[in-house]
Amino acid sequence: MAVESCLLNWGIKRVFTVTVDNASSNDCYCLFEKENSWLGFSILNCKYLHMRCIAHIINLVVVDGLKETNVSVKRVREAVRYIRQSPARLQKFKSCCEMEGIESKSSLCLDVCTRWNSTYLMLNVAQKFENAFDRYATIDPCFKFDLQSSDGLPDSLDWENVRRLVDFLGHFYDLTLRISGSRYVTSNIFFNEISSVDCLLQEWQGSNDIELALVVDPRYKLEFMEFALSTVYGKEKGMELAKKIKLTVYELFDEYKKTYQAEHERGSNVAGNTSENNESEGAKKKSRLNLGDQFLKHKIETGEANSKSDLDCYLNEGIKVVDEKEEFDILKWWQLNSGRFPILSIMVRDILAMPISTVASESAFSTGGRVLDPFRSSLLLKIVEALICAQDWLRKSHCCKSIEEQIADLERLEEAFSLCEISSINDNTVNLDS
């Protein structure tokens, strides 16, 4: 297997999860890994090895949504394309906006058909100018003639479909940006995000994967999970699912406890012996123990002094209340509290490392797939690997620009070019007169 060969080549011997898209071939691969278990380290016999990419699932939902209003989207797209074909048409359209009293800092932008985020941005801007499009059709006869030769002019029903679609895509646009981040933890937000999507879909219709990482988020724990599941599935079924998740969390914790408990105790004993060696001779004097002290000593020797595990103590604590405006750093919280929950923090470290998406946000919006051009396909595997790794290592977070920023830059460039054209026309007019 290619993935197995790469991992062995990189010297990776401890794999907790593999995040892949929902293709059937990936199901076969993950089943192969579970059955053969070539890895020397596995948690619960690779029970949680297969992690499905949420970005691909969202993409499928969005593509289906776009199919439902395909004709309306095409009509608006052709209308935008016609107006943007010349500066004169754009200027005439701006005059229509002024006459209709439409004030907007955004101007019409054309989408890329295979990138649904650009379609969302195009529709989101265009629906604000519905009245301007209607007025433009009355002053430019070619506009109506040109569009009727293809899909036709957008009518009131089309604009209503567009408004509903913009509302639909807006939630998934923001969601994709959040879950496709590659520079911060995403596994702890999976359950919250997918539950919100389920509620939105139910609301739109007529008003299952559950991620363990939600439980180790001190802002939510099991309380939010029980609340969300009861809201989505009803109280009886929701509590049943919450119970299964709780058992799964404890099963996973017990596996980590068996693996790391002895190591933790050895570290504690070393620290204890060092402390005893530093004690003064006066503090070592034996004194008669009362019954209470004897009982406590007995509990310590039998390992019953603290019967509650890290997980019990963590879940019994109240949830952490965070201001909505405050950005919560879950990794820092667990780093500061690792001393209180030594075994649990090791489990959390592995869970939070799981990516819930296989692609960055700029690729998650694409419906055309990620393909290699003929030149890159002809390169040696080592060269392709080196190029990809070097690009990732050299990329700086502040270099990434959102598509909205790019559109704003393009608008400024277009205005500058328009001014240059007007200035050039005026200069030519002056020369002819002279």
* Whether the predicted pLDDT of 242 surpasses 80: yes
Give mean pLDDT, residues 59-65. 76
Cα 97 to chain centroid distance, Å, stands at 37
Task: Write down the domain spans for the chain.
Answer: 1-52, 54-184, 186-267+307-352
Q: How far is CA 191 from CA 57, 162, 197, 305, in A?
A: 14, 29, 10, 36
**Owner of token pair 């309306």:** 72
Strand partners, 332: none
* Whether the predicted pLDDT of 71 surpasses 70: yes
Among 123-132, 200-209, 218-227, which stretch is predicted with the lowest mean pLDDT? 200-209
Residue 123 · residue 162 · CB < 8 Å: yes
pLDDT in tens, 81-122: 999 888 888 889 989 998 888 887 777 888 877 677 788 888
pLDDT in tens, 423-434: 665 665 545 454
User: What confidence category does residue 218 fall into, taking pLDDT thresholds of 50, 70 and 90?
Assistant: confident
Structure tokens at 413: 């460039």
Give mean pLDDT, residues 171-178. 81
* Whether the predicted pLDDT of 79 surpasses 80: yes
What is the C-alpha separation between 226 and 243, in angstroms, rounded? 9
User: What confidence category does residue 227 fall into, taking pLDDT thresholds of 50, 70 and 90?
Assistant: confident
Among 234-248, 349-363, 379-393, which stretch is predicted with the lowest mean pLDDT? 349-363
Q: Is 394 exposed, middle or buried (0-12, 13-18, 19+ CB in 10 A)?
A: exposed
Look at residues 247, 200, 239, 244 and name the one whose alpha carbon lies nearest to residue 223: 239
Amino acid at 185: V
Structure tokens at 359: 């692609």
Amino acid at 329: D
What is the C-alpha separation between 62 and 360, in angstroms, rounded? 17
pLDDT at residue number 405: 54
Other beta carbons less than 10 A from residue 84's beta carbon: 16
Strand partners, 19: 51
Look at residues 424, 10, 414, 17 and name the one whose alpha carbon lies nearest to residue 213: 17
* Whether the predicted pLDDT of 299 surpasses 60: no
pLDDT in tens, 259-293: 887 676 665 555 555 545 554 444 444 444 455 55
Amino acid at 226: E
Helix axes 54-68, 116-126, angle to 10 degrees: 50
* Whether the predicted pLDDT of 56 surpasses 70: yes
* Whether the predicted pLDDT of 306 surpasses 60: no
Kindly state the helix (H) or strand (E) to which residue 50 belongs, with its residue range: strand 50-52
